[in-house]
Structure 1
Amino acid sequence: MRLKGVRGSRNIEDRRRSGGAGGKAGIGGVGLLIILAIGYFAGIDVSPLLDGATSSQAVTPRELTAEEEKAAQFSSRVLTTTEDVWTDLFADQLDAEYQPPILVLYSGVTQSPCGGASGATGPFYCPSDEKAYLDTDFFATLSRQLGARGDFAAAYVIAHEVAHHVQNELGILEQVNAARQKASQTEANALTVRLELQADCLSGVWARQVGGMLEPGDIEEALNAARMIGDDHLQKRAGRVPQPHTFTHGTSAQRARWFATGYKSGKIDSCDTWSVRNP
């Protein structure tokens, strides 16, 4: 993805200098990120595994590595592209004003009004404070451990979390959360899958709008990332037989298909995962 010349977003909250040491004490950075990734995308409760990793300790401020600084610059510039795209699309397609989210960069574990990373594992969006949360070490895990390589795969992760903010701006998250509270666990999971697939589709819409920044192979990187973090694939990776009633993000095929749908259309209304019988 060509980001040279793209300004960095002002909507960044970097907590990494004051965090991470205590959160990684029990398991270790790479091991923790793998657990968080599998738990987040496969819908597995990993809280017991994190008990030893989230012990509170005095944290000494630290300097960021060159790799961490690079990840922050990348994330900030990708966030800027989402701000520009959604501002334009809200105005053009919805006749509405877009209010962008804050992107919180953290290391290991962090806290939010929606809970800690042990409860909302991996990258996540919290509608209560309208912030997206990202441990930039996740980029390495995505590439090296989950097989989703390339800078556009990492950009897709950011775009997906921002898409949840778009859903929040449109009132979709509130409606779905209300419906989930009245549903059985299986029904609630099915609603969550539709929500996540819509976020994948909205990520595709964003990708279409930044087409001038794309390099050969970028869309393939995003599609591969979508497949690598499908519920069925990750449950197999965790040594489990895929259980569709536990899915919370959708299968590899579903995730790739909905991203492609958004990319091909470039339209917000193409991302209606609620009206179709089998998303």
Structure 2
Amino acid sequence: MRWKHRRKSSYVDDRRGKKIARGGAKLSGGMIIIALIYAVVTGQNPLSLLGNVMNTGGQTSRQEVEIPQQRSPQEREQADFASVILASTEDIWKKIFSESGQQYKIPQMVLFDGQVRSACGVNSEAVGPFYCPADQKVYLSLSFFRQLERMGAPGDFARAYVIGHEVGHHIQNITGTSRQVREQQSKASSQAEANRWSVLQELQADCYAGVWGHYANRDQRMLEPGDVEEGLQAAASIGDDTIQSRAGRRVNVEGFTHGSAQQRVKWLRRGLQTGSYDSCNTYAEGA
């Protein structure tokens, strides 16, 4: 993809290196200053003094502690890539919404590693990228890009498709589609029926990712030969049947929550080919 030297999003919250501390103590600024002054006068290690203060006093809390880390050039490049792709989705969806007389509300993207706290709870990077409708933020651990490669889906557009898919969930949230799906799931007579609604929602997000890709290619000239194939390969690699088979399990269609490889490829391709938001009505058309 031709993504370098393009605008980066100003809606990225980089929380990498921040760890969630449980049962720690909050230190006031005054407590820290007193400990440091005492350390200078006595010659003691200020870190040891602060540790003693945390063990003996202060208010216990659950907080994020930042651990400074050196980022490799590859890690910095991946973060820049995610920011550029988010900026591209901002420009394209703002235009699509404005053409229908609507205003697009830009989501924030949170980059994290390890664990992250959102309005939807505390999640591990093992769950993969996710969108939290309660705070309208996309959460992404860049380690998932390496996971994609291990699943047979390398390449820039494979990574971009993942971001476009999560932004698709944001669109579903701000347009009310997510709420309607939850209502239908609450009325479902079985888990299989509830899963079917989840599949339709995920396939629509795939289609929205394709719509973004259509305009990223047509208007922004971001795509290069082979990029579309990378995206379609990524969609196939994270199909429910592919994942179940890779795990050595029997393929169980009723247990699908995201759609089969064939379905995911179909709807991503639909968005890429049509560039039409209206063409992504999976609920009316079925999987």
Partner Cα distance (2:212, 2:64) in 1: 40
**Closer/same/farther in 2, CA of residues 108 and 120 from structure 1, 3 Å limit:** closer
Q: Which residue of 2 aligns with 1:110?
A: 116
Structure 2 unmatched ranges of 5 or more: 23-62
Gap change, CA 1:169 and 1:58, over 3 Å in 2: closer
**2: CA distance, partners of 1:232 / 1:255:** 11
Segment drifting more, 256-265 vs 108-117: 108-117
Cα separation, 1, equivalents of 2:65 and 2:111: 20
Amino acid of the structure 2 residue aligned with 1:4: K
> Equivalents in 2 of 1:273, 1:113: separation in Å?
28
Deviations 1:67-113 (A, max 9, x none): 22111100000000000000001111x22010110000000221211
Q: Calculate the TM-score normalised by the size of structure 1.
A: 0.83
Correspondence 1:186-197 to 2 at 5 A? 186-197=192-203
Q: 1:71 is matched with which residue?
A: 78
Question: Does structure 2 retain, via aligned residues, the 8 Å contact 1:19–1:61?
Answer: no
Give the SS at the match of 2:268.
helix
Q: Match for 1:207 among 179, 200, 213?
A: 213
Task: Determine the C-alpha separation between the residues in 2 that align with 1:227 and 1:100.
Answer: 28
Counterparts of 1:53-202 in structure 2 under 5 Å? 60-92=67-99, 94-118=100-124, 121-143=127-149, 145-183=150-188, 184-202=190-208
Residue 58 of structure 1 deviates from its aligned partner by 6.8
**Percentage of identical aligned residues:** 47
1:167 alignment partner, SS class: helix
Change in 2 beyond 3 A, CA 1:84/1:163: same
The CA RMSD over aligned residues, in Å, is 2.0
Structure 1 counterpart of 2:115, which letter?
Answer: V
SS across alignment from 2:258: coil
Determine if the alignment matches structure 1 residue 10 to structure 2 residue 15.
Answer: no
CA distance in 2, matches of 1:73, 1:58: 23
Pairs aligned (count)? 243
- Aligned counterparts of 1:142 and 1:240: Cα–Cα separation in 2: 20
Higher relative strand content:
2
Q: How many angstroms apart in 2 are the aligned matches of 1:243 and 1:141?
A: 23
Quote the Cα distance in structure 2 between the aligned partners of 1:147 and 1:251. Answer: 16
* Offset of residue 20 of structure 1: 8.6
Please say if residues 21 and 59 of structure 1, whose CA atoms lie closer than 8 Å, have aligned partners that are also in contact: no
Q: CA deviation at 1:243?
A: 0.5
Separation in structure 2 between the aligned mates of residue 253 and residue 20 of structure 1, nearest angstrom: 39
Aligned to 2:41: none
CA deviation after TM superposition for structure 1 residue 140, in Å? 1.1
Q: CA deviation at 1:63?
A: 2.9
The 2-side partners of 1:20 and 1:170 are apart by: 33
SS, match of residue 111 in structure 2:
strand
Aligned to 1:249: 258
Look up the equivalent residue of 1:78 and give its one-letter code.
Answer: I
**TM score, norm. by length of structure 2:** 0.80
How far the C-alpha of 1:120 sits from its partner, in A, is 8.5
- The whole-number CA distance in structure 2 between the counterparts of 1:121 and 1:242 is 21
Task: State the distance in 2 between where 1:57 and 1:100 align.
Answer: 25
Aligned-partner Cα distance in 2 for 1:77–1:206: 13
Change (3 A) 1:122 1:249: same
Structure 2 CA distance for aligned equivalents of residues 57 and 104 of structure 1: 14
User: Does 2:256 align with 1:268?
Assistant: no
